[in-house]
Structure 1
Amino acid sequence: MRRRTLLAFAAALPLSACESDGAEATGNLRIATGSPGAVYYRYGSAIAELCKRYLPNVHASVLTTAASQFNVQSILDGTADVAFTQADIAAENDQSHPDQLAALGRLYDDHIHVVVAASGPVKGLHDLRQRRVSIGGEGSGTAITALRVLSISDIAIEGKRLGLDDSVAALRAGGIDAFFFSGGLPVAAIADLARDFPIRLLDLSEPVKALRAQYGDYYAERVVPASTYTGITATVAIGIANYLVVRMSMNEPLAYGVTRLLFEGRDELAKAHQAAARLNIRSAISTPPLPLHPGAIRYYRAQKA
């Protein structure tokens, strides 16, 4: 009973009082994120800053990447220690690399955006046929999900493999007719674009059921509110959960320390991007098909999650 009481007391302490927990977490923490204009990078950079303050024996650094698929591969090949990824990408890699991946938690939901010029000819998803469309950078979760959406919808395009920043620049310059991007709301690069370049988001309600039927329940219908970007109306998008993933072999104290940091530093992390404020301890433990890492389980049990 005494040990349980001590754990409960420690769990209630603010981050600044967590010296004993912080001291036991040691090692490198290379955080695989995404492009600088998107949520993963801002969220990951904020985690690295908190590590410097509250996990003194952890050397945290941020990796700018192509995002989800590249990130999971980086975990598997040992070039990253923790990574942001979409649930559908995590599931696909778990099938091909069983028992190697674990999650620290479910963070927030991405929204699949299909962005077009408001004054252009593309009004709906099927208007993308034979048009120049960026499906996302090589190694991104966006690209995999975009290809699934297009295949399910029987739409052939002239595909371009551009990252977010290059997609924004290409749409602005007239080099493409549309681009896909999967990100938490709001995506800063899209918000910046919309302020001086009128955009429209395409309705994606049609392919959601078919995606769920073919690939699993990782996809859900979500709405991008009209207040999200200048000039848009409320638009149905495709929602996908995001996980923070690690190797199952990560040492338990480090996994525990990072998981605790996510929750007890949530207000600080939300200053970097509001998606961090959506972290919820009840939903965080749901990371199918990935198991939670034992270090994360220790944190959640202490919180009676």
Structure 2
Amino acid sequence: MRRRTLLGLAAAPFALPLLAACESDGAEATGDLRIATGSPGAVYYRYGTAIAELCKRYLPNVHASVLTTAASQINVQNVLDGTADVAFTQADIAAGSEGSQLAALARLYDDHIHVVVAAAGGIAHLRDLHGRRVSVGGVGSGTAVTADRVLEVSAVSIDRVQLGLDDSVRALRDGTIEAFFFSGGLPVAAIADLAREYPIRLLPLEESVQLLRARYGDYYAERVVPASTYTGITATVAIGIANYLVVRMSMSEPLAYGVTRLLFEGRDELAKAHQAAARLNIRSAISTPPLPLHPGAIRYYRAQKA
């Protein structure tokens, strides 16, 4: 499959007009593109910021901006109510909007559910969290929804608090919580920074995967956080969840096409912001159940014979 690239513009000065033209009756991608992301310490924000920068450079008639949010759950709401134009969200959260006006541009990469504890705290398994003070993620986050599901199917009752990623990191280090959940692509920068300064461990979650699948569907899979991901961490089984980039079905086809094309043709550039962007694969990108693909995205994939 031939793949044109945004890189090497000095050698290919025609790349910009080729990307800007949407090839749909001569229409170009135009309009606002407010990108709902997440915490500045996590992947959505870095990936979304990089997309906005590429839009500014290669889609000159698109006015891109980044919204810092609590992530998946509020992101979906923001797209549906028109507060945002495009958003990152977990597949299990997107599933709750089946039948709405939500559509997908691509399946991007898989999140890993992290359950982070102090290495010296004596907590080795999920069941050890029973009765302890634990952050399940910020209000409106996909992390909070998934964390509650994990605890429910595992029959673990906690002293539940809701803190965003950065506040969870500080609270664990200060000892005001004993663990926190976070759903993010590897590596999560805020967790990597914490591990370099404060010994942590990740709790294994293999026992929860099949329980989640049985109750909530096949949005969950067993994944491994490699030992090299965070300082002092051994390889740990986590729960994987696909991430989608979503829009309203009413988004113009040229804009949806242009953003989808940007994801692929700018993939190497986006990966400089976070390596999760490098995991975008055209064969898996079209699998966004239960959401339909936007017609603009479909046109891109058909052109690539995906």
Alignment correspondent of 1:111:
112
Report the CA distance between 1:196 and its aligned residue: 1.1
Partner of 2:152: 151
Between the aligned partners of 2:164 and 2:237, the Cα distance in structure 1 is 23
Given that residues 106 and 286 in structure 2 are in contact (C-alpha distance below 8 angstroms), is that contact kept between their aligned partners in structure 1? yes
For residues 122 and 236 of structure 2, the distance between their equivalents in structure 1, rounded to whole angstroms, comes to: 18
Question: Using the alignment, how far apart are the partners of 1:99 and 1:125 within structure 2?
Answer: 35
How many residues were matched structurally?
Answer: 294
Q: Does the aligned pair in 1 maintain the 2:139–2:163 contact within 8 Å? A: yes
Percent of residue pairs bearing the same amino acid type: 80
1:248-263 map, 5 Å:
248-263=249-264
Q: Is 1:83 aligned with 2:87?
A: yes
Cα deviation, residue 16, structure 1? 2.6
The residue aligned with 2:122 is: 121
After superposition, give the CA deviation of every residue in 1:106-157 in whole Å (9 maximum; x if it has no partner): 0000000000000002111000000000000000000000000000011110
Within 5 Å, which residues of 2 pair with 1:1-305? 12=4, 14=6, 15-18=15-18, 19-21=20-22, 24-94=28-98, 98-305=99-306
1:32-87, CA deviations, whole angstroms, 9 ceiling, x for partnerless residues? 00000000000000000000000000000000000000000001100000000000
Deviation of the 1:17 alpha carbon: 4.4
2:201 partner amino acid: R
Cα 1:191–1:13 change in 2 (3 A) is closer
Query: Structure 1 residues 25, 132: closer, same or farther in 2, change over 3 A?
Result: same
Aligned-partner residue type, residue 143 of structure 2: T
In structure 1, runs of 5+ residues without a counterpart are 1-7
State how far apart, in whole Å, the 1-side matches of 2:224 and 2:76 are: 27
Q: Which residue of 1 aligns with 2:9?
A: none
CA contact (8 A) 2:5 2:266 kept: no
Displacement over 2 Å in runs of 4+: 11-17, 19-23
* Greater Cα offset, 12-21 or 50-59: 12-21
1:215 is aligned with what amino acid?
Y
User: 1:34 aligns to what SS in structure 2?
Assistant: coil
**Kept in 1: contact 2:32–2:64 (CA 8 A):** yes
* TM-score, normalisation: structure 1: 0.94
| Structure 2: tracts of 5 or more residues without a match | 7-14
Q: When you count helix as a share of all residues, which structure comes out higher?
A: 1
Q: 1:230 to 1:13 in 2, by over 3 A?
A: closer
| Residue of structure 1 equivalent to 2:11 | none
